[in-house]
Amino acid sequence: MRFSPLDKLLNFPEMTVKKWGQTSEGFFLHLARVNSGINCPHCQQKTQELHQVRYLLVRDLPAFGQPVYLKVPRRQFYCRHCQKYIREELDYIDRKRKEKRRYQENIYQKVLKSSIEQVSQEENLTYEEVESLFILLSQSAHYQEWATRKRLSIDEISKKKGHKNFITLVSDVDTGNLLEVIDSHKEQEIIELDNTRSDVEKSLKNHYGARTTHYIKELNGLLQSKDWKEADLLTWNAIFYSALTKDIDTRNFSYNNVSCDALREIDGQWYDSSGGRFGFKVQKRIYIETGNPIGDYDSEAYWRFVERVGWSESGEWKRYQDLVWDKEAPQIAPEGHLPAGVRRSGAFGRTLFTFTHDYRARDAREIDISFLSLRLVNCSI
pLDDT tens for 45-60 read 899 888 898 888 888 8
Query: For residue range 100-129, what is the model confidence (pLDDT) as tens digits?
Result: 788 888 888 887 777 777 888 888 888 778
Q: Residue 99: phi, psi to the nearest 5?
A: -135, 150
Query: For residue range 135-187, what is the model confidence (pLDDT) as tens digits?
Result: 777 656 444 444 445 565 555 555 454 444 555 555 666 666 555 555 544 44
Q: Residue 5: phi, psi to the nearest 5?
A: -60, -20
Query: For residue range 77-106, what is the model confidence (pLDDT) as tens digits?
Result: 999 998 889 888 777 777 667 777 888 888
CB neighbour class for 226 (10 Å; exposed up to 12, middle 13-18, buried from 19): middle
Q: Is the dihedral of CA 269, 272, 278, 283 positive or negative?
A: positive
Question: What are the residue ranges spanned by the domains of the chain?
Answer: 6-91, 143-195, 220-381
Query: For residue range 295-351, what is the model confidence (pLDDT) as tens digits?
Result: 777 888 888 988 999 988 888 888 888 899 999 999 999 999 999 875 444 445 555
Query: For residue range 336-377, what is the model confidence (pLDDT) as tens digits?
Result: 999 987 544 444 555 555 444 333 334 333 333 336 777 787
> CA distances (Å), 242 to each of 215, 223, 258, in order?
10, 19, 5
CB neighbour class for 228 (10 Å; exposed up to 12, middle 13-18, buried from 19): buried
Fold of 220-381: Arc Repressor Mutant, subunit A (1.10.10)
| Global pTM value | 0.54
Q: How far apart are CA 94 and CA 91, in angstroms?
A: 7
Provide Rg for the chain, Cα atoms. Answer: 27
- DSSP class of 302: H
